[in-house]
Amino acid sequence: MENLDGRIAVVTGASSGIGLGIAKELARHGVKVVMASQSADRLAAAAEEVRALGGTVLEVPTDVARKPEIERLAERTLDHFGAVHILVNNAGVYAPGYAWELDDDDWEWVVDVNYWGTVNGIRVFMPHLLEQDEAHVVNVSSAGGLMTAMCHGPYTSTKHAIVGLSKALRVEVGMKESKVGVTLVCPGGVATNIASQFDRSGPEGRPRGERPLPDEVKALWKAVDATVESGISSDEVGRMVHQAITENVFWVLPNAECYFPIFDQEFEEMKNAIRN
């Protein structure tokens, strides 16, 4: 999709962070953007940011974990703009802690948003994308979907799943001989406000709040927060995603090099296992 001017994009998790960065960058290139997020208030404020850039925006409060709400998002998009060409599955949450100590609500919340939110987006929007002369799907995973990520089992499990799902989706659209491109985004250190999300969201839309964590887990997440705070901007990720759509690039690894020592260690272990 070399020329995106006049195309219509749906971006989930668009009220902040990477989702907002992608929405802003697409709007700068003439894309009409449908912004979706669970919080109506935060979404309205984010939509005004995009409009201030001259963007054409429709905001639709949406809980991506619920398929009927994704279906309503698609209906609103088609009623308002008449088509959809780009789907960005970006909505994501996390819950830190030892995998066996996190409760059912935390596990179900993260899996429902991160995994089922992406699956719902693909299942609902893909039939419409396949009707277009050109279209594109962007799935946002994480560097934590490619390597060991300690003490957030639900998050890293779902992000690994998005990697596998995206690889399969790329092959499947090829089998259909369609002109739907697929991009998989695995960010490393990106400056977002995900670390403060517990004051804003949680299971059933209620703020999760802080929960007791062992000291070693607190120390780990303090280091993770430092990597996030010192990372590249969400706007830079938006520029990378725009380029990937126009050039039909599959892998996008924004600032993943901050985790390369861990990647290298795991790849060496894999090579040793194959040799043995």
Q: Annotated active-site positions, please? A: 155
Amino acid at residue number 124: V
Cα–Cα distance measured from residue 140 to residue 73, given in angstroms and rounded to the nearest whole number: 19
List of E strands, the chain: 8-12, 32-37, 57-61, 86-89, 135-140, 180-185, 190-191, 232-233, 251-252
Q: What is the torsional sign of CA 243, 121, 194, 186?
A: negative
138: phi then psi, degrees, rounded to nearest 5: -115, 120
Q: Which of 193, 238, 197 is nearest to 33 (CA)?
A: 238
Indicate the DSSP class of residue 105.
H
Sequence-distant (≥ 6) Cβ neighbours of residue 58 within 8 angstroms = 32, 33, 34, 35, 76, 77, 80, 81
Amino acid at residue number 8: I
69: tokens are 């709400």
